[in-house]
Structure 1
Amino acid sequence: MKNWNFLALCFMIIAFSSCISQKQITYFQSPVADSTALAEEITNKYVPIIQPNDLLSINVNSLNPEASSFFNPYAAADRVPTFQTVNGQVPVTAVVGYLVDTQGQVQLPLVGKIKVLGLTSAGAQELIQEKLKNFLKEPTVAVRFLNFKVSVLGEVTRPSMFSVPNEQMTLTEALSLAGDITIYGRRDNVMIIRETNGKREFGRVNMNQRDLFKSPFYYLHPNDVIYVEPGKARLAYADRFYTILPSIIGALSLIAVILRR
């Protein structure tokens, strides 16, 4: 038994000998140590803009509920799930709503096509509400995005896709939902892949530094992909494990033979 314990201890020492410093895994570091509370103005907050192929929930109400229901064909099916979807998959109920066509328009019953391209959800609400005054008495409209989702991949605890019910998610929130970056993930070089107006951007954010909050990639956009690279410790561990695996198997076999005698 002592031989087995000694072998296990040796294996653990070898496996975890790659050193990861505290500085590499500490978030929001400041160049100067300062214990005073600081207040910074938020200047990079993101408000989603309607683009082609967006999926919208448009909920209509008025003084005549029966007449309003005619404009709500998706009312029972456009519920947005909580942040994390079941088994990491976006359920069918999250993808039913009004599709914005390639010209940036949505088509409502009776009203016809309404151009909402480039508007915020609040702006679309005002526009649609004005159009409905010809059909309803004192209409009110609620518009929200149904396809605001982000994906988190790489060295995180729970890689997955997450739906965003409130039209705003930050990089730190997305990583928290994914169970945080593992001890082996690179916090200093987190990649955000973003598609906007037919172009793909690749942003890099250093989670170790406090100035990440000023990055244009801190507030996430719909369909952003976050990728956390493995660090050198992970690669070194993998290489070392497969290098010493034959030796470990041989040692275990030898000890098994000795113990049987």
Structure 2
Amino acid sequence: MKRLLFILLATGLFFSSCRTNKDLVYLSNTTDDELLEGIPAKTAEYIIKTNDNLYVDIQSMSPEVNAMFNPTQAAGATGGTSQNYGQPSSQYLNGFHVDLVGNIKLPVIGDVAVAGMTLNNARNAIQLRADEYLKDATVKVKLLSFKITVLGEVKSPGVYYNYNNNMTVLDGISMASGVTDYGRIQKVLVLRPTDKGSKTFRLDLSNKKFLSSDAFFLQPNDVVYVEPDKYKNVKLNSPLYSLFLSTLSTLILVLNIL
């Protein structure tokens, strides 16, 4: 009876730590040919903040004049823009940092206030200043410091950079090579820094409702954390449990024989 009791205990422990197929499927409550109108919502335009790093390109018809307004690109002419901005370290050195006052300092033009603006509005502001010096100037402004951190039960945790206009939480997890066998997609935390402090969002990626969350589209400096399954410790220690139960069962058998 004691041996039977231990066998039943081990069996119950095994099955209680198992997960159903529903626990592993993203958007499991969607149906075929379902139209999710208005979901996801349109991503909000990013507002430039202090300490952001921007790519600014001012071009005219004259290569000599371009070299004056873009000295960093001119200095790296042999390697082109990819050499100057291909790596995060190069972006940090060659981008234009938004200082604590909210300005960037551009060659020839000088200080331009950009904090609190969208990227498009910042481009317009720089365009107005460039038009004072150049005729038919073309201005481009991009955000270089769009990075996120993905932690927890993902296969490749780390810091990832985004070079598109938007990025979703699914993109972020995909960059980290997806969740591990212990990842709990029903418990995903997004931590977002704001002017008033850090704001948290709890997402259930198995439920389509997360598509309408404000955290579906990630913002620069967001942290995505995938929580572990609540039975992770049981699964990791299952060989020890099996060894313990086997030893105990053998010991009981020996005692019964004696």
- TM bin (shorter chain): 0.7 to 0.9
The one-letter amino acid paired with 1:109 is P
TM-score by length of 2: 0.80
Mapping of residues 141-160 of structure 1, within 5 Å: 141-160=139-158
Mapping of residues 80-119 of structure 1, within 5 Å: 80=86, 91-96=88-93, 97-119=95-117
RMSD: 2.5
Kept after mapping to 1: 8 A contact 2:48/2:118: yes
> Is residue 56 from structure 1 mapped to residue 62 from structure 2 by the alignment?
no
TM-score by length of 1: 0.79
Decide which structure has greater helix share. 2
Instruction: Tell me whether 145-154 or 63-72 shows the greater mean CA deviation.
Output: 63-72
Deviation at 1:245, TM superposition (A): 5.8
> Is residue 79 from structure 1 mapped to residue 77 from structure 2 by the alignment?
no
Instruction: Tell me whether 149-158 or 16-25 shows the greater mean CA deviation.
Output: 16-25
Whole-angstrom CA distance in 1 between matches of 2:165 and 2:14: 41
Q: Identify unmatched segments of 5+ residues in structure 1.
A: 1-12, 82-90, 251-261
Mapping of residues 64-213 of structure 1, within 5 Å: 64-75=62-73, 76=76, 78-80=84-86, 91-96=88-93, 97-213=95-211
Kept after mapping to 1: 8 A contact 2:68/2:108: no
After TM superposition, what 4+ stretches of structure 1 lie above 6 angstroms from structure 2? 13-16
CA deviation string 1:139-180 (max 9, x = no partner): 111111111011111101111211101131100011111111
> Is residue 19 from structure 1 mapped to residue 18 from structure 2 by the alignment?
yes
Q: Secondary structure at the match of 1:69?
A: helix
Inter-CA distance 107–187: structure 2 relative to 1 (3 Å threshold): same
Q: Identify unmatched segments of 5+ residues in structure 2.
A: 1-10, 77-82, 248-258
Kept after mapping to 2: 8 A contact 1:68/1:136: no
The one-letter amino acid paired with 1:59 is D
Q: Secondary structure at the match of 1:152?
A: strand
Tell me how many residue pairs correspond in the alignment.
227
Kept after mapping to 2: 8 A contact 1:55/1:98: yes
Whole-angstrom CA distance in 2 between matches of 1:225 and 1:214: 19
Inter-CA distance 242–60: structure 2 relative to 1 (3 Å threshold): farther
Inter-CA distance 105–68: structure 2 relative to 1 (3 Å threshold): same
